[in-house]
Protein backbone atom coordinates (compact mmCIF):
# COMPACT_ATOMS: atom_id res chain seq x y z
CA UNK A 1 0.00 0.00 0.00
CA UNK A 2 1.34 3.41 -0.94
CA UNK A 3 1.69 5.81 1.98
CA UNK A 4 2.15 9.58 2.19
CA UNK A 5 3.85 10.38 5.45
CA UNK A 6 6.34 13.25 5.47
CA UNK A 7 9.78 13.27 7.10
CA UNK A 8 8.51 15.06 10.20
CA UNK A 9 5.86 12.40 10.79
CA UNK A 10 8.31 9.57 10.20
CA UNK A 11 10.68 11.03 12.79
CA UNK A 12 8.24 9.65 15.35
CA UNK A 13 9.28 5.99 15.85
CA UNK A 14 5.69 4.80 16.38
CA UNK A 15 4.46 6.45 13.17
CA UNK A 16 7.47 5.04 11.33
CA UNK A 17 6.55 1.57 12.60
CA UNK A 18 2.90 2.07 11.59
CA UNK A 19 4.02 3.12 8.12
CA UNK A 20 6.06 -0.08 7.75
CA UNK A 21 2.98 -2.13 8.63
CA UNK A 22 0.73 -0.16 6.24
CA UNK A 23 3.12 -0.57 3.33
CA UNK A 24 2.91 -4.35 3.61
CA UNK A 25 -0.85 -4.44 3.00
CA UNK A 26 -1.68 -5.22 -0.63
CA UNK A 27 -5.48 -4.72 -0.24
CA UNK A 28 -6.13 -8.35 -1.17
CA UNK A 29 -8.96 -8.71 1.37
CA UNK A 30 -8.17 -12.32 2.33
CA UNK A 31 -8.40 -11.23 5.99
CA UNK A 32 -12.00 -10.05 5.69
CA UNK A 33 -13.68 -13.45 5.73
CA UNK A 34 -12.02 -14.53 8.98
CA UNK A 35 -12.71 -11.29 10.88
CA UNK A 36 -15.44 -11.94 13.50
CA UNK A 37 -16.85 -8.41 13.36
CA UNK A 38 -17.12 -8.50 9.56
CA UNK A 39 -18.75 -11.93 9.75
CA UNK A 40 -21.37 -10.51 12.14
CA UNK A 41 -21.84 -6.98 10.82
CA UNK A 42 -21.00 -7.28 7.12
CA UNK A 43 -19.57 -3.75 6.95
CA UNK A 44 -16.13 -3.42 5.36
CA UNK A 45 -15.25 -0.73 7.89
CA UNK A 46 -15.63 -3.44 10.54
CA UNK A 47 -13.07 -5.62 8.77
CA UNK A 48 -9.26 -5.55 9.03
CA UNK A 49 -8.85 -3.95 5.59
CA UNK A 50 -11.47 -1.30 6.35
CA UNK A 51 -9.83 -0.48 9.69
CA UNK A 52 -6.42 -0.33 8.04
CA UNK A 53 -7.79 2.32 5.61
CA UNK A 54 -9.31 4.30 8.49
CA UNK A 55 -6.06 4.18 10.49
CA UNK A 56 -3.94 5.10 7.47
CA UNK A 57 -6.08 8.13 6.70
CA UNK A 58 -6.15 9.28 10.33
CA UNK A 59 -2.38 8.97 10.80
CA UNK A 60 -1.36 10.37 7.39
CA UNK A 61 -3.53 13.44 7.85
CA UNK A 62 -2.40 13.85 11.46
CA UNK A 63 -6.08 14.09 12.29
CA UNK A 64 -7.71 13.64 15.68
CA UNK A 65 -9.82 10.49 15.73
CA UNK A 66 -13.44 11.06 14.74
CA UNK A 67 -16.51 9.40 16.23
CA UNK A 68 -16.80 7.21 13.12
CA UNK A 69 -13.20 6.01 13.29
CA UNK A 70 -13.46 5.32 17.02
CA UNK A 71 -16.69 3.35 16.53
CA UNK A 72 -15.09 0.97 14.03
CA UNK A 73 -11.78 0.66 15.87
CA UNK A 74 -13.55 0.04 19.19
CA UNK A 75 -15.42 -2.85 17.60
CA UNK A 76 -12.12 -4.59 16.77
CA UNK A 77 -11.54 -7.45 19.23
CA UNK A 78 -7.75 -7.49 18.72
CA UNK A 79 -8.31 -11.22 18.18
CA UNK A 80 -5.58 -11.20 15.48
CA UNK A 81 -7.39 -13.72 13.26
CA UNK A 82 -6.50 -11.33 10.43
CA UNK A 83 -2.79 -11.82 11.13
CA UNK A 84 -3.15 -15.58 10.79
CA UNK A 85 -4.92 -15.16 7.45
CA UNK A 86 -2.84 -12.37 5.91
CA UNK A 87 -0.47 -13.67 3.22
CA UNK A 88 1.57 -10.44 3.29
CA UNK A 89 2.64 -10.54 6.92
CA UNK A 90 0.81 -7.34 7.92
CA UNK A 91 1.43 -6.87 11.66
CA UNK A 92 -2.09 -5.64 12.41
CA UNK A 93 -1.52 -6.01 16.17
CA UNK A 94 1.09 -3.24 16.26
CA UNK A 95 -1.00 -1.05 13.96
CA UNK A 96 -4.22 -1.24 16.00
CA UNK A 97 -2.24 -0.80 19.24
CA UNK A 98 -0.74 2.42 17.89
CA UNK A 99 -4.13 3.59 16.59
CA UNK A 100 -5.70 3.01 20.01
CA UNK A 101 -3.06 5.20 21.64
CA UNK A 102 -3.77 7.89 19.02
CA UNK A 103 -7.50 7.63 19.77
CA UNK A 104 -6.95 8.01 23.50
CA UNK A 105 -4.73 11.03 22.88
CA UNK A 106 -6.96 12.87 20.42
CA UNK A 107 -10.58 11.85 21.04
CA UNK A 108 -12.75 12.89 23.97
CA UNK A 109 -15.19 10.08 24.65
CA UNK A 110 -18.65 10.70 26.15
CA UNK A 111 -18.57 10.88 29.95
CA UNK A 112 -20.17 7.46 30.54
CA UNK A 113 -17.55 5.76 28.35
CA UNK A 114 -14.72 7.60 30.06
CA UNK A 115 -15.96 6.57 33.48
CA UNK A 116 -16.46 2.94 32.45
CA UNK A 117 -13.01 2.67 30.88
CA UNK A 118 -11.38 4.30 33.89
CA UNK A 119 -13.24 1.91 36.21
CA UNK A 120 -12.01 -1.11 34.23
CA UNK A 121 -8.44 0.18 34.16
CA UNK A 122 -8.44 0.91 37.89
CA UNK A 123 -10.05 -2.34 39.05
CA UNK A 124 -9.30 -5.32 36.79
CA UNK A 125 -5.50 -5.34 37.04
CA UNK A 126 -5.52 -5.16 40.85
CA UNK A 127 -6.45 -8.41 42.64
CA UNK A 128 -7.62 -6.83 45.90
CA UNK A 129 -9.80 -4.26 44.10
CA UNK A 130 -11.22 -6.94 41.78
CA UNK A 131 -11.98 -9.22 44.72
CA UNK A 132 -13.76 -6.35 46.49
CA UNK A 133 -15.74 -5.45 43.33
CA UNK A 134 -16.87 -9.07 42.92
CA UNK A 135 -18.07 -9.21 46.50
CA UNK A 136 -20.02 -5.99 46.00
CA UNK A 137 -21.56 -7.42 42.80
CA UNK A 138 -22.78 -10.39 44.85
CA UNK A 139 -24.88 -8.04 47.01
CA UNK A 140 -26.93 -6.86 44.01
CA UNK A 141 -30.14 -8.91 43.69
CA UNK A 142 -30.23 -11.26 40.69
CA UNK A 143 -33.39 -9.60 39.27
CA UNK A 144 -31.70 -6.21 39.27
CA UNK A 145 -28.51 -7.52 37.63
CA UNK A 146 -30.35 -8.41 34.44
CA UNK A 147 -32.74 -5.45 34.50
CA UNK A 148 -32.94 -3.50 31.21
CA UNK A 149 -32.94 -0.35 33.37
CA UNK A 150 -29.23 -0.92 33.98
CA UNK A 151 -26.92 0.30 31.17
CA UNK A 152 -25.78 -2.58 28.91
CA UNK A 153 -22.05 -2.48 29.84
CA UNK A 154 -22.87 -2.53 33.56
CA UNK A 155 -25.31 -5.39 33.01
CA UNK A 156 -22.63 -7.30 31.11
CA UNK A 157 -20.19 -6.71 33.95
CA UNK A 158 -22.65 -8.04 36.53
CA UNK A 159 -23.50 -11.06 34.39
CA UNK A 160 -19.83 -11.91 33.95
CA UNK A 161 -19.14 -11.39 37.65
CA UNK A 162 -22.02 -13.75 38.57
CA UNK A 163 -20.28 -16.95 39.70
CA UNK A 164 -17.02 -15.27 40.63
CA UNK A 165 -18.18 -13.30 43.66
CA UNK A 166 -18.58 -16.62 45.43
CA UNK A 167 -15.12 -17.74 44.31
CA UNK A 168 -13.61 -14.47 45.54
CA UNK A 169 -15.22 -15.03 48.93
CA UNK A 170 -14.43 -18.73 49.26
CA UNK A 171 -11.26 -20.31 50.56
CA UNK A 172 -9.28 -21.17 47.45
CA UNK A 173 -6.42 -23.32 46.28
CA UNK A 174 -3.75 -20.72 45.87
CA UNK A 175 -0.25 -21.48 44.59
CA UNK A 176 2.24 -21.97 47.37
CA UNK A 177 5.53 -20.12 47.56
CA UNK A 178 6.75 -22.96 49.78
CA UNK A 179 6.15 -25.86 47.39
CA UNK A 180 9.35 -27.95 47.52
CA UNK A 181 11.58 -28.03 44.45
CA UNK A 182 11.92 -31.43 42.74
CA UNK A 183 14.89 -33.65 43.61
CA UNK A 184 16.50 -33.45 40.17
CA UNK A 185 15.95 -29.93 38.89
CA UNK A 186 15.65 -29.42 35.11
CA UNK A 187 15.86 -25.65 35.43
CA UNK A 188 14.38 -22.61 37.12
CA UNK A 189 11.10 -21.10 36.01
CA UNK A 190 9.47 -17.79 36.88
CA UNK A 191 5.70 -18.33 36.94
CA UNK A 192 3.75 -15.11 36.49
CA UNK A 193 0.83 -15.10 38.90
CA UNK A 194 -0.66 -11.84 37.72
CA UNK A 195 -3.93 -10.10 38.24
CA UNK A 196 -7.45 -11.28 37.40
CA UNK A 197 -6.79 -14.99 36.99
CA UNK A 198 -5.61 -15.49 40.56
CA UNK A 199 -8.95 -14.09 41.75
CA UNK A 200 -11.29 -15.61 39.17
CA UNK A 201 -9.90 -19.15 38.78
CA UNK A 202 -7.36 -19.55 41.59
CA UNK A 203 -7.02 -23.29 40.98
CA UNK A 204 -5.22 -22.59 37.70
CA UNK A 205 -2.03 -21.23 39.26
CA UNK A 206 -1.91 -24.03 41.83
CA UNK A 207 -2.37 -26.69 39.11
CA UNK A 208 0.33 -25.06 36.98
CA UNK A 209 2.76 -25.06 39.86
CA UNK A 210 2.11 -28.73 40.68
CA UNK A 211 2.56 -29.76 37.04
CA UNK A 212 5.84 -27.88 36.71
CA UNK A 213 7.26 -29.28 39.95
CA UNK A 214 6.24 -32.82 38.95
CA UNK A 215 7.95 -32.28 35.59
CA UNK A 216 11.16 -31.38 37.41
CA UNK A 217 11.20 -27.57 37.36
CA UNK A 218 12.01 -25.29 40.24
CA UNK A 219 9.21 -22.69 40.30
CA UNK A 220 9.54 -19.12 41.53
CA UNK A 221 6.28 -17.16 41.73
CA UNK A 222 6.37 -13.62 40.34
CA UNK A 223 3.28 -11.55 41.01
CA UNK A 224 2.11 -8.55 39.03
CA UNK A 225 -0.05 -7.57 36.08
CA UNK A 226 1.57 -7.63 32.63
CA UNK A 227 -0.43 -4.55 31.54
CA UNK A 228 -2.38 -6.22 28.72
CA UNK A 229 -5.77 -5.00 29.93
CA UNK A 230 -4.87 -1.31 29.98
CA UNK A 231 -2.76 -1.71 26.84
CA UNK A 232 -5.86 -2.76 24.91
CA UNK A 233 -7.65 0.32 26.22
CA UNK A 234 -4.98 2.48 24.57
CA UNK A 235 -3.64 3.64 27.97
CA UNK A 236 -0.01 3.48 27.01
CA UNK A 237 1.53 5.15 30.07
CA UNK A 238 -0.24 2.75 32.44
CA UNK A 239 0.65 -0.28 30.32
CA UNK A 240 4.25 0.87 30.28
CA UNK A 241 4.27 1.28 34.07
CA UNK A 242 2.87 -2.25 34.59
CA UNK A 243 5.50 -3.67 32.22
CA UNK A 244 8.30 -1.74 33.96
CA UNK A 245 7.24 -3.09 37.37
CA UNK A 246 7.07 -6.68 36.11
CA UNK A 247 10.45 -6.40 34.40
CA UNK A 248 11.94 -5.08 37.64
CA UNK A 249 10.61 -8.13 39.50
CA UNK A 250 11.91 -10.48 36.81
CA UNK A 251 15.31 -8.81 37.00
CA UNK A 252 15.42 -9.45 40.75
CA UNK A 253 14.30 -13.06 40.24
CA UNK A 254 16.88 -13.75 37.56
CA UNK A 255 19.61 -12.06 39.63
CA UNK A 256 18.95 -14.65 42.36
CA UNK A 257 19.43 -17.56 39.92
CA UNK A 258 19.39 -18.03 36.17
CA UNK A 259 15.92 -18.43 34.64
CA UNK A 260 15.23 -21.10 32.02
CA UNK A 261 11.84 -19.61 31.14
CA UNK A 262 9.22 -17.08 32.15
CA UNK A 263 5.97 -19.03 32.16
CA UNK A 264 2.51 -17.58 31.68
CA UNK A 265 -0.71 -19.59 31.95
CA UNK A 266 -3.14 -16.95 30.64
CA UNK A 267 -2.55 -16.72 26.90
CA UNK A 268 -3.70 -13.08 26.67
CA UNK A 269 -0.94 -12.15 29.11
CA UNK A 270 1.52 -14.46 27.36
CA UNK A 271 0.96 -12.65 24.07
CA UNK A 272 1.65 -9.35 25.82
CA UNK A 273 4.84 -10.60 27.49
CA UNK A 274 6.14 -12.01 24.23
CA UNK A 275 5.71 -8.51 22.77
CA UNK A 276 7.55 -6.62 25.56
CA UNK A 277 10.69 -6.47 23.42
CA UNK A 278 8.77 -4.49 20.80
CA UNK A 279 6.64 -2.43 23.18
CA UNK A 280 9.62 -1.21 25.21
CA UNK A 281 12.12 -0.95 22.35
CA UNK A 282 12.38 2.82 22.71
CA UNK A 283 12.93 2.82 26.47
CA UNK A 284 16.71 2.38 26.90
CA UNK A 285 16.74 1.47 30.63
CA UNK A 286 14.24 -1.35 29.99
CA UNK A 287 14.68 -2.32 26.33
CA UNK A 288 17.41 -4.96 26.73
CA UNK A 289 15.71 -6.78 29.61
CA UNK A 290 12.30 -6.44 27.96
CA UNK A 291 13.70 -8.23 24.90
CA UNK A 292 15.45 -10.82 27.11
CA UNK A 293 12.31 -11.68 29.08
CA UNK A 294 10.19 -11.69 25.89
CA UNK A 295 12.56 -14.26 24.44
CA UNK A 296 12.28 -16.36 27.63
CA UNK A 297 8.47 -16.17 27.73
CA UNK A 298 6.59 -19.41 27.20
CA UNK A 299 3.02 -20.49 27.48
CA UNK A 300 2.74 -23.22 30.10
CA UNK A 301 1.88 -25.81 27.42
CA UNK A 302 5.15 -25.09 25.57
CA UNK A 303 7.10 -26.03 28.70
CA UNK A 304 4.97 -29.06 29.55
CA UNK A 305 5.47 -30.36 26.01
CA UNK A 306 9.21 -30.67 26.75
CA UNK A 307 8.78 -33.54 29.20
CA UNK A 308 6.46 -36.55 29.43
CA UNK A 309 3.65 -35.99 31.92
CA UNK A 310 3.29 -38.60 34.69
CA UNK A 311 -0.27 -39.48 33.69
CA UNK A 312 -2.24 -41.67 36.11
CA UNK A 313 -5.26 -43.82 35.30
CA UNK A 314 -8.59 -42.08 35.95
CA UNK A 315 -11.81 -44.03 36.26
CA UNK A 316 -13.55 -41.75 33.81
CA UNK A 317 -12.35 -38.83 31.74
CA UNK A 318 -14.92 -36.41 30.30
CA UNK A 319 -14.92 -35.75 26.56
CA UNK A 320 -13.31 -32.38 25.91
CA UNK A 321 -14.07 -29.67 23.34
CA UNK A 322 -10.88 -27.63 23.01
CA UNK A 323 -11.48 -23.88 22.58
CA UNK A 324 -8.31 -22.35 21.16
CA UNK A 325 -8.16 -18.81 22.59
CA UNK A 326 -7.36 -16.14 19.99
CA UNK A 327 -4.30 -15.06 21.93
CA UNK A 328 -3.14 -18.68 21.87
CA UNK A 329 -3.82 -19.58 18.22
CA UNK A 330 -3.40 -16.18 16.53
CA UNK A 331 -1.28 -14.27 19.06
CA UNK A 332 1.21 -17.02 19.91
CA UNK A 333 0.58 -19.46 17.05
CA UNK A 334 0.08 -22.29 19.55
CA UNK A 335 -2.77 -24.43 18.36
CA UNK A 336 -1.66 -28.05 18.24
CA UNK A 337 0.38 -28.35 21.46
CA UNK A 338 -2.44 -28.02 24.04
CA UNK A 339 -4.63 -30.50 22.12
CA UNK A 340 -1.74 -32.96 21.94
CA UNK A 341 -1.06 -32.69 25.68
CA UNK A 342 -4.73 -33.32 26.49
CA UNK A 343 -4.84 -36.34 24.18
CA UNK A 344 -1.62 -37.73 25.67
CA UNK A 345 -3.23 -37.34 29.11
CA UNK A 346 -6.03 -39.64 27.95
CA UNK A 347 -8.79 -37.17 27.10
CA UNK A 348 -10.81 -37.46 23.92
CA UNK A 349 -10.54 -34.00 22.34
CA UNK A 350 -13.18 -32.81 19.87
CA UNK A 351 -12.82 -29.92 17.45
CA UNK A 352 -15.14 -26.91 17.57
CA UNK A 353 -16.42 -25.67 14.19
CA UNK A 354 -15.37 -22.09 13.31
CA UNK A 355 -12.56 -22.49 15.79
CA UNK A 356 -10.78 -19.43 14.38
CA UNK A 357 -13.60 -17.10 15.52
CA UNK A 358 -13.33 -15.26 18.84
CA UNK A 359 -15.74 -16.09 21.70
CA UNK A 360 -16.19 -12.37 22.39
CA UNK A 361 -14.07 -12.16 25.53
CA UNK A 362 -11.06 -10.13 24.28
CA UNK A 363 -9.92 -8.52 27.52
CA UNK A 364 -12.63 -6.10 28.60
CA UNK A 365 -14.36 -6.16 25.17
CA UNK A 366 -17.28 -8.19 26.55
CA UNK A 367 -18.04 -5.27 28.88
CA UNK A 368 -17.35 -2.46 26.41
CA UNK A 369 -19.12 -4.06 23.41
CA UNK A 370 -21.68 -6.36 25.05
CA UNK A 371 -23.95 -6.84 22.02
CA UNK A 372 -21.23 -8.10 19.67
CA UNK A 373 -19.57 -10.08 22.47
CA UNK A 374 -22.86 -11.82 23.30
CA UNK A 375 -23.53 -12.70 19.66
CA UNK A 376 -20.05 -14.20 19.39
CA UNK A 377 -20.53 -16.17 22.61
CA UNK A 378 -23.87 -17.55 21.44
CA UNK A 379 -22.31 -18.62 18.14
CA UNK A 380 -19.39 -20.23 19.97
CA UNK A 381 -21.66 -22.03 22.46
CA UNK A 382 -23.82 -23.39 19.62
CA UNK A 383 -20.69 -24.76 17.93
CA UNK A 384 -19.51 -26.22 21.23
CA UNK A 385 -22.89 -27.92 21.80
CA UNK A 386 -22.58 -29.61 18.41
CA UNK A 387 -19.37 -31.37 19.52
CA UNK A 388 -21.31 -33.38 22.12
CA UNK A 389 -18.47 -32.85 24.59
CA UNK A 390 -19.09 -32.52 28.33
CA UNK A 391 -16.37 -30.02 29.17
CA UNK A 392 -14.60 -27.16 27.40
CA UNK A 393 -10.85 -26.75 27.82
CA UNK A 394 -9.05 -23.52 27.05
CA UNK A 395 -5.86 -21.70 27.97
CA UNK A 396 -7.12 -18.21 28.76
CA UNK A 397 -9.03 -16.99 31.79
CA UNK A 398 -10.94 -14.38 29.75
CA UNK A 399 -12.49 -17.11 27.58
CA UNK A 400 -13.39 -19.13 30.69
CA UNK A 401 -15.30 -16.18 32.16
CA UNK A 402 -16.97 -15.34 28.85
CA UNK A 403 -18.12 -18.86 27.99
CA UNK A 404 -19.17 -19.64 31.53
CA UNK A 405 -21.48 -16.61 31.52
CA UNK A 406 -23.65 -18.11 28.78
CA UNK A 407 -26.37 -19.11 31.23
CA UNK A 408 -28.11 -22.44 30.79
CA UNK A 409 -26.23 -23.19 27.57
CA UNK A 410 -22.85 -23.08 29.26
CA UNK A 411 -21.05 -26.25 30.22
CA UNK A 412 -18.05 -26.37 32.56
CA UNK A 413 -15.12 -24.45 31.10
CA UNK A 414 -11.78 -25.47 32.57
CA UNK A 415 -8.22 -24.35 32.05
CA UNK A 416 -6.14 -26.95 30.16
CA UNK A 417 -3.61 -27.19 33.00
CA UNK A 418 -6.30 -28.08 35.54
CA UNK A 419 -7.29 -31.06 33.40
CA UNK A 420 -3.66 -32.10 32.90
CA UNK A 421 -2.98 -31.75 36.63
CA UNK A 422 -6.04 -33.89 37.40
CA UNK A 423 -4.79 -36.55 34.99
CA UNK A 424 -1.42 -36.49 36.78
CA UNK A 425 -2.80 -37.02 40.28
CA UNK A 426 -3.95 -33.49 41.16
CA UNK A 427 -7.44 -32.63 42.42
CA UNK A 428 -10.46 -32.73 40.18
CA UNK A 429 -10.93 -29.20 38.70
CA UNK A 430 -13.30 -27.09 40.80
CA UNK A 431 -15.63 -26.39 37.85
CA UNK A 432 -16.16 -30.16 37.42
CA UNK A 433 -16.67 -30.78 41.12
CA UNK A 434 -19.52 -28.26 41.12
CA UNK A 435 -21.17 -29.28 37.85
CA UNK A 436 -21.10 -33.04 37.52
CA UNK A 437 -20.39 -35.05 40.65
CA UNK A 438 -21.77 -38.12 38.87
CA UNK A 439 -18.74 -38.72 36.71
CA UNK A 440 -16.14 -38.22 39.40
CA UNK A 441 -12.99 -40.22 39.05
S1 LIG B 1 -8.11 -8.23 15.19
FE2 LIG B 1 -9.91 -9.57 14.90
S3 LIG B 1 -11.69 -8.18 15.02
FE4 LIG B 1 -9.85 -6.90 14.71
S5 LIG B 1 -9.71 -6.61 12.50
FE6 LIG B 1 -8.42 -8.41 12.99
S7 LIG B 1 -9.78 -10.18 12.74
FE8 LIG B 1 -11.11 -8.34 12.84
S1 LIG C 1 -4.99 -10.03 4.05
FE2 LIG C 1 -3.24 -8.73 4.64
S3 LIG C 1 -2.57 -7.77 2.74
FE4 LIG C 1 -4.63 -8.57 2.36
S5 LIG C 1 -6.02 -6.82 2.85
FE6 LIG C 1 -5.83 -8.04 4.72
S7 LIG C 1 -4.14 -7.08 5.82
FE8 LIG C 1 -3.99 -6.33 3.72
Q: Is the CB of 73 under 6 A from ligand 1?
A: no
The CATH architecture to which 7-106 belongs is Orthogonal Bundle (1.10)
Report the distance separating Cα 358 and Cα 373, nearest Å: 9
Pocket test of ligand 1: the residue of 33, 48, 49, 53 to mutate, having most ligand atoms within 8 Å of its CB, is 48
- Residue boundaries of the structural domains of the chain: 7-106, 119-169, 187-304, 320-439
Buried b (16+ CB within 10 A) or exposed e, 195-234: bbbbbbbbbbbbbbbbbbbbbebbbbbbbbbbbbbbbbbb
Selecting from 1.10.30, 2.60.40, 1.10.12, 3.40.50, what CATH number does the domain 187-304 have? 3.40.50
Q: In what order do the strands lie in the sheet with 413-415?
A: 349-350, 320-322, 391-394, 413-415
Q: Whose CA is nearest to atom 4 of ligand 2?
A: 28
Q: How many angstroms separate the alpha carbon of residue 226 from the centre of ligand 1? A: 22
Q: How many angstroms separate the alpha carbon of residue 354 from the centre of ligand 1? A: 15
Q: Which atom of ligand 2 is nearest to the CA of 24?
A: 3
Mean pLDDT computed over 194-221: 91
pLDDT tens by residue, 68-98: 999 999 999 999 999 999 999 999 999 999 9
Q: What is the mean pLDDT of the chain?
A: 91
290 in Cβ contact with 303 (< 8 Å): no
Pocket test of ligand 2: the residue of 29, 34, 91 to mutate, having most ligand atoms within 8 Å of its CB, is 29
Per-residue pLDDT band at 151 (split at 50, 70, 90):
confident
Mean pLDDT computed over 177-185: 63
Task: Answer whether 187-304 and 320-439 agree in fold.
Answer: yes
Q: Ligand 2 pocket by C-beta < 6 Å: which residues?
A: 25-31, 48-49, 82, 85-86, 88, 90
How much is the pTM?
A: 0.91
pLDDT recorded at residue 350 = 97
Q: Whose CA is nearest to atom 1 of ligand 2?
A: 86
Per-residue pLDDT band at 394 (split at 50, 70, 90):
very high
pLDDT recorded at residue 440 = 37
Per-residue pLDDT band at 271 (split at 50, 70, 90):
very high
Pocket test of ligand 2: the residue of 1, 21, 27, 83 to mutate, having most ligand atoms within 8 Å of its CB, is 27
From residue 288, give the alpha-carbon distance in Å to each of 101, 223, 244, 278, 332.
Answer: 23, 21, 12, 10, 21
CATH 2.30.29 matches 320-439: no
Per-residue pLDDT band at 172 (split at 50, 70, 90):
very low
Report the distance separating Cα 245 and Cα 242, nearest Å: 5
pLDDT tens by residue, 410-440: 789 999 999 999 999 999 998 887 554 444 3
Amino acid sequence: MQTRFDARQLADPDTAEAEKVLRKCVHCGFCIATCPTYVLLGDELDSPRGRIYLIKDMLEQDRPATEKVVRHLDRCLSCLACMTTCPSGVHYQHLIDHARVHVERTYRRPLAQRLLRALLAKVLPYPSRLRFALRVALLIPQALRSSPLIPAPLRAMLQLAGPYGTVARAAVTAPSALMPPPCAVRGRIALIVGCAQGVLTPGTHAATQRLLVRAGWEVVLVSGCCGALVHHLGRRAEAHAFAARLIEKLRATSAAGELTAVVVNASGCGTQLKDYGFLLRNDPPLAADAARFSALSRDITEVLAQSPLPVQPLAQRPVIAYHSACSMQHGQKLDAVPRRLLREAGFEVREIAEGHLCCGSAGSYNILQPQIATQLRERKLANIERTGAAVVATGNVGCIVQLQAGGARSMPVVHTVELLDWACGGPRPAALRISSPADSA
